[in-house]
Amino acid sequence: MELTRRNFFKFMGAATASAAALPSPAGAWESKAPPDPYGCLVDITRCVGCRKCEEACSKVNDLPEPERPNCQCTIFEKKRRPDHNAFTVINRYFTGRLDEFDKPLPTFTKVQCMHCQDPACVSACIVGALTKDETGSVRYDVTKCIGCRYCMVACPFEIPAYEYDNPITPRVMKCTFCYDIISKQGGVPGCAAICPTETITFGRRSDLLNVAKMRLKENPGKYIDHVYGEKEAGGTSWLYISSVPFEQVNLPVLADTPSPRLAETIQHSLFSYLWSPIALFGALGAIMFKANNHGDKPTDKSGGGK
Amino acid sequence: MKPAPLNKPLFTPGVLVMLALMAAGGIVIIARFIGGIGYVSNLTNARPWGLWVGIDVATGVALAAGGFTTAALAHILGRHHYEAVTRPALLTAALGYTFVVLGLIVDIGRSWAIWKPMIYWNINSVLFEVAMCVMVYLNVLYLEFFPIVAEQFKGRVNLPGIFARLNNTLETVLRVGDAILDKTMWILIILGVVLSCMHQSSLGSLMLIAPTKLHPLWYTPILPLLFLVSAIGVGYPMVVFETTLVSSSLNLDPEMSILSPLTRITTFLIGTYMLLKIGDMLFRGTYVYLLDGTHQTNSFIVEMLFGVMIPWVMLLFKRVRKSRAGIFTAATLIVGGVVLNRINVFIVGYRSPITDSTYFPAPGEILVTLGLVATLMFIYRVVVTYLPVLQSPKGAAS
C-alpha cells in the first residue's frame, strides 16, 4: 500500500471536483404520479358475485379459464387471492348484515392490482421492470425482470404473484389494467366492460372520485363515508365504495403516506450525486494519510494485512 | 511471525462432513433448476422472501463485516498491531460475499439475468444500490486478496504438462498485478469501507417500503442506522469467533494479544447499538408489545437479551476479556444476536397483512443454505491450506 502525499491529493482533488461540479442534493420528495390517469370505481354494494369479470380477465390476458367458472357458491367457501393464473378474483364475505328474514347477507368484493399512484413495487424494482404508465396502469416488462421478488415484498396489497413452478423463466403476474385496450380511444378493461351490474365504472380517476362522492351524498346511510383508494398509500387508480367497513372485505387499513416516500427520501438525501460516499472517502483518506505518515509503518502490502 | 500456508492434511473428518453437506445442497439446487423455486421451497405469493434472503444474503453480508472493520482499524487508523487478523477477516469477507452472490443465484427467479441491474438502473430502488455496492465490493475484495496469491506464487508458477506454456503469462499477471495493487491498495481499502457502510445500512432500508409488513418492534425509520451499527459491531466478534474456532481446530496460536483489545472496542460498539435499539423502542413506544407473548415478541426479547445485553455486560469485565473462553462465549452470543436480528427482520417479523401465512423454511431451503455454508468453510480450509493467510502454527519455525 503506497499512500504518498502526491497520490492522495491527486485522487482526492479529482473526487472533490467531480462532486462540486454537480448540483446540490435533491430536495423534498415529490410524487411521480401521472397527471390525469384512468381508474376504476368499484361499488361493492352492486356486486352479486357472478364472476363474469374473472372470465373476461382470463380471456383478455390469455390466462387459463378461472377455477370452476360457473360456480357461484362453493367456490366462495375459501378466500382466494389473485395468483399467476388469475389477475382478479371475487371473494364473498359475511359481515353480519342481515336481510329481512334475518338471514346473513353476503358481500362480494373484487380484488386485483390497485394501480397505486406512487406504487411501492415501481419504487422497489431493482431494474425498473415495473413502471407507472401515463394511463395509470402499473406495467411489467419481463425482459428487464431478474426475479428478485422485492416488488412482492413491497406491495401493501399483496398483489404481485410469482410463477414459482417455472425453473428458468418465471414471471411476476398481476393485473395489467388491460393496458393495450385502455391506451386506445374508447377502450374499457375486460372486467369493467363485462360487468352486468355496473359494479365497475371505468373513467378518469378525477371524474370517478366525483362520481363516488356523489353516490355517497345521494344515498345517505347506504355507504361508509369513505372512498377507499382516494388517499390510501398515497392514492390508487382503483377506488372502492362500500356499505361495510373496508377491512372486513380484506381492503387493508393503510396510511395516506405514499409507500415509497420514506425509503426514497432516505436514499436520495444520502446518496444524491454520491455526496456522502465521496465525503466519507475523503474523510477516511485524510485519517489514513495522517495515521500512516508518522508512527509505525505498515508492514504489509496486501489489503489483507501481514 | 509471518502468515504461512498450513502444513496439514486437507481431508479430515470435518472436511468430509462439509463435502457431504455440499453434495446434499447441490442436489437441491439441481432440483430447483428443474422444478422451480416452488418445488424446493415454502415460498409463496404472500411470503416472497424466506431463508435464502434472510440468511444467505442479509446475514451473509452482516457477518462479512469483519473484513472492512479490521481493514479500517489496521490500515486506515494505522493500528498495525492488528494486521495479523486482517488476512483471515479479508478471506472471510471475500468468501462471505461470494456466498451471498451464490445464494442470490439460487433465490432469484431468473438467475441468468443477474447482470441486468448493471444495464437497467432504478436509482429509486434500495435494492439497486445494495446490488451495485455488493457487486463492486466483491471485486474490491478479490483485488485486495490478490497480493496474497501473488506472494505465494510469484516467481514460482510451475504448471504441469500442457499448461506449462501459460507459466510466463501467469507470472507476468502476478508481477504486474501485484505492482499495480501495491500503489493503489489504499484506494481499494478506503473504497471497501465506504461501499460497506453504504450497503450495510441500505440492507436495513429494504424493509422501509413495507411499513405494514414488518412488525413494529423492528420497523423503524432508523433501521438503516441500526443495520450499519450492528454490522460494524459484529465485525470484531466475528473475527474473535472464527479465529478461536480456526486456531483451536487447527491447533494454532490463539492470538489473545490481538483478540482481547478487539473485544474492548466491541463493548463500545455494541453498547452504542444497544442504546440505539432501546432508545428507538422507548421513543416509538413499541415496548407495549414486549409482554404480548407472540413468537415475534419472544424472538425480539431473545435477540436483545442474549444477542446484545448479556454479551455487552460480559465484556465489561476485564476478567472475561482476558479469558479465551470468555471472549469466545461473548463473541458467539453477539454473532448469534446479529444473525437472529437479520432473521427477525426478514423472516420472523415479516407479516403478510392480508393472507394468513405462516412460513417455515422447507428442508430444501435449509439444505441449500447448509450446503452453501459448508462450501464457504471448505474453500476457507483449502485457501488457508495452500495460501499464506493464517499465522504459523505454535512452535513451528516460520
Best residue in B1, B40, B75 for a mutation probing chain A (most A CBs within 10 Å): B75
> Which residue type is seen at B318?
K
Q: CA B64 to CA B144: how far, in whole Å?
A: 14
Which residues in chain A are closer than 8 Å to B108, comparing Cβ atoms? 146-149
Quick check: is B376 in a domain? Answer: no
Contact between B110 and B62 (Cβ < 8 Å):
no
Alpha carbons within 13 angstroms on the beta-carbon side of residue A96 total 5
Quick check: is B8 in a domain? Answer: no
- Say if residue A293's pLDDT is above 80: no
State the Cα torsion A146-A150-A153-A156 to the nearest 10°.
-100
User: What is the domain range of residue B17?
Assistant: 13-42
The residue of chain A nearest to residue B388, with distances taken between CA atoms, is: A306
Contact between B133 and B199 (Cβ < 8 Å):
yes
Residues A241-255 have a mean pLDDT of 94
Contact between B228 and B48 (Cβ < 8 Å):
no
Same domain, residue pair B261 and B152:
yes
CATH value at residue B73: 1.20.1630.10
pLDDT value of residue B249: 83
Which residues in chain A are closer than 8 Å to B125, comparing Cβ atoms? 123-126, 128, 150
Question: Do residue B126 and residue A263 have CB atoms under 8 angstroms apart?
Answer: yes
Listed by number, the residues of chain B in 64-103 with a beta carbon closer than 8 Å to a beta carbon of chain A are 70-72, 74-78, 80, 82-87, 89-91
Question: Which among B46, B90, B209 has the least Cβ separation from residue A263?
Answer: B209
Same domain, residue pair B173 and B127:
yes
Give how far the C-alpha of residue B78 lies from the chain's centroid of Cα atoms, to the nearest Å: 24
Q: CA B32 to CA B2: how far, in whole Å?
A: 44
Alpha helices by DSSP H, listed for chain A, are: 5-20, 52-60, 120-124, 150-154, 179-182, 190-194, 205-218, 261-271, 275-292
Question: Which among B77, B148, B212 has the least Cβ separation from residue A254?
Answer: B212
Q: Between B256-284 and B223-249, two packed helices, what is the crossing angle to 10 degrees?
A: 150
- CA A242 to chain B, closest CA, distance in angstroms equals 18
Quick check: is B394 in a domain? Answer: no
pLDDT value of residue B1: 59
SS3 B132: helix
The residue of chain A nearest to residue B90, with distances taken between CA atoms, is: A304
Quick check: is B276 in a domain? Answer: yes
Same domain, residue pair B125 and B35:
no
Same domain, residue pair B49 and B26:
no
Catalogue the E-assigned strands of chain A: 38-43, 89-98, 104-111, 130-132, 138-140, 161-162, 172-173, 200-204, 238-241
Residues B22-35 have a mean pLDDT of 96
Comparing CA positions, the residue from A102, A213, A81, A225 lying closest to residue A158 is: A81
Quick check: is B391 in a domain? Answer: no
Listed by number, the residues of chain B in 159-188 with a beta carbon closer than 8 Å to a beta carbon of chain A are 178, 181-183, 185-188
pLDDT value of residue B136: 95
The model's pLDDT over B307-342, given as tens digits with 9 standing for 90+, comes to: 999 999 999 999 999 999 999 999 999 999 999 999
Instruction: Report the range out of A127-141, B147-161, B345-359 with the highest average pLDDT.
Output: A127-141
Quick check: is B66 in a domain? Answer: yes
Same domain, residue pair B21 and B71:
no
Residues A92-100 have a mean pLDDT of 90
pLDDT value of residue A305: 44
Question: Do residue B189 and residue A288 have CB atoms under 8 angstroms apart?
Answer: yes
- Say if residue A1's pLDDT is above 80: no
State whether residue A271 sits within 8 Å of chain B by CB: yes
The residue of chain B nearest to residue A264, with distances taken between CA atoms, is: B124
Same domain, residue pair B333 and B218:
yes
Q: Which three cell numbers stand for residue B14?
A: 470435518
Same domain, residue pair B264 and B187:
yes
Same domain, residue pair B37 and B86:
no
Same domain, residue pair B80 and B200:
yes
Question: Which among B78, B183, B389 has the least Cβ separation from residue A292?
Answer: B78
List the A238-241 sheet strands across, edge first.
A200-204, A38-43, A238-241
Give how far the C-alpha of residue B10 lies from the chain's centroid of Cα atoms, to the nearest Å: 24
Best residue in A146, A168, A264, A269 for a mutation probing chain B (most B CBs within 10 Å): A146
pLDDT value of residue A4: 59
Question: Do residue B83 and residue A306 have CB atoms under 8 angstroms apart?
Answer: yes
pLDDT value of residue A23: 47
The residue of chain B nearest to residue A3, with distances taken between CA atoms, is: B186
State whether residue A145 sits within 8 Å of chain B by CB: yes
Instruction: Please tell me the total count of domains within chain B.
Output: 2
Question: Do residue B213 and residue A156 have CB atoms under 8 angstroms apart?
Answer: yes
Question: Which among B35, B120, B197 has the least Cβ separation from residue A280?
Answer: B197
Tally C-beta pairs within 8 A across A and B: 269
Same domain, residue pair B154 and B80:
yes
Torsion sign across C-alpha atoms A264, B352, B130, A129: negative
**Mean of pLDDT over chain A:** 88
Quick check: is B373 in a domain? Answer: no
Question: Which among B36, B111, B178 has the least Cβ separation from residue A166?
Answer: B36
Q: CA B320 to CA B22: how far, in whole Å?
A: 36
The 10 Å CB-count burial string (b at 16+, else e) for A93-110 is beeeeeeeeeeeeebbbb
Do the strands A238-241 and A38-43 form a parallel or antiparallel pair, or are they unpaired? Answer: parallel
The 10 Å CB-count burial string (b at 16+, else e) for B381-396 is bebbbebbbbbbbeee
pLDDT value of residue A10: 59
Comparing CA positions, the residue from B307, B304, B306, B323 lying closest to residue B263 is: B323
The model's pLDDT over B29-54, given as tens digits with 9 standing for 90+, comes to: 999 999 999 999 999 999 999 999 99
Question: Do residue B76 and residue A288 have CB atoms under 8 angstroms apart?
Answer: yes
Q: Which three cell numbers stand for residue A29?
A: 420528495
Best residue in A83, A131, A153 for a mutation probing chain B (most B CBs within 10 Å): A153
- CA A100 to chain B, closest CA, distance in angstroms equals 32
Same domain, residue pair B23 and B57:
no
DSSP 8-state class, residue A83 = B
Quick check: is B220 in a domain? Answer: yes
The model's pLDDT over A198-215, given as tens digits with 9 standing for 90+, comes to: 999 999 999 999 999 999
pLDDT value of residue A11: 58
Listed by number, the residues of chain B in 312-341 with a beta carbon closer than 8 Å to a beta carbon of chain A are none
State whether residue A152 sits within 8 Å of chain B by CB: yes
Listed by number, the residues of chain B in 201-260 with a beta carbon closer than 8 Å to a beta carbon of chain A are 202, 205-213, 221, 224
Best residue in A7, A132, A164 for a mutation probing chain B (most B CBs within 10 Å): A164
**Mean of pLDDT over chain B:** 91
State whether residue A164 sits within 8 Å of chain B by CB: yes
Measured in residues, chain B has a length of 398
Which residues in chain B are closer than 8 Å to A128, comparing Cβ atoms? 120-122, 125
The model's pLDDT over B60-97, given as tens digits with 9 standing for 90+, comes to: 999 999 999 999 999 999 888 888 889 999 999 999 99
Q: Give the residue carrying C-alpha cell 378461472.
A: A66
Question: Do residue A149 and residue B49 have CB atoms under 8 angstroms apart?
Answer: yes
Question: Do residue A125 and residue B125 have CB atoms under 8 angstroms apart?
Answer: yes
Distances (CA, A) of A234 to A30, A117, A259, B106, B226: 11, 7, 7, 35, 27
Question: Do residue A147 and residue B71 have CB atoms under 8 angstroms apart?
Answer: no
Q: CA A236 to CA A73: how far, in whole Å?
A: 30
State whether residue B153 sits within 8 Å of chain A by CB: no
Could you give phi then psi for residue A260, rounded to 5 degrees? -80, -5
Higher pLDDT, B162 or B117: B117
Listed by number, the residues of chain B in 27-46 with a beta carbon closer than 8 Å to a beta carbon of chain A are 32-39, 41, 43-46
SS3 A58: helix
Comparing CA positions, the residue from B90, B153, B78, B136 lying closest to residue A304 is: B90
Q: Between B363-386 and B13-35, two packed helices, what is the crossing angle to 10 degrees?
A: 130
Torsion sign across C-alpha atoms B365, A84, A66, A44: positive
Listed by number, the residues of chain A in 43-72 with a beta carbon closer than 8 Å to a beta carbon of chain B are none
SS3 A231: coil
Question: Do residue B186 and residue A164 have CB atoms under 8 angstroms apart?
Answer: no
Higher pLDDT, B293 or A232: A232
Any idea what the Cα angle at residue B76 is, between residues A282 and B135, rounded to 5°? 70
Same domain, residue pair B169 and B241:
yes
State whether residue A180 sits within 8 Å of chain B by CB: no
Higher pLDDT, A98 or A174: A174
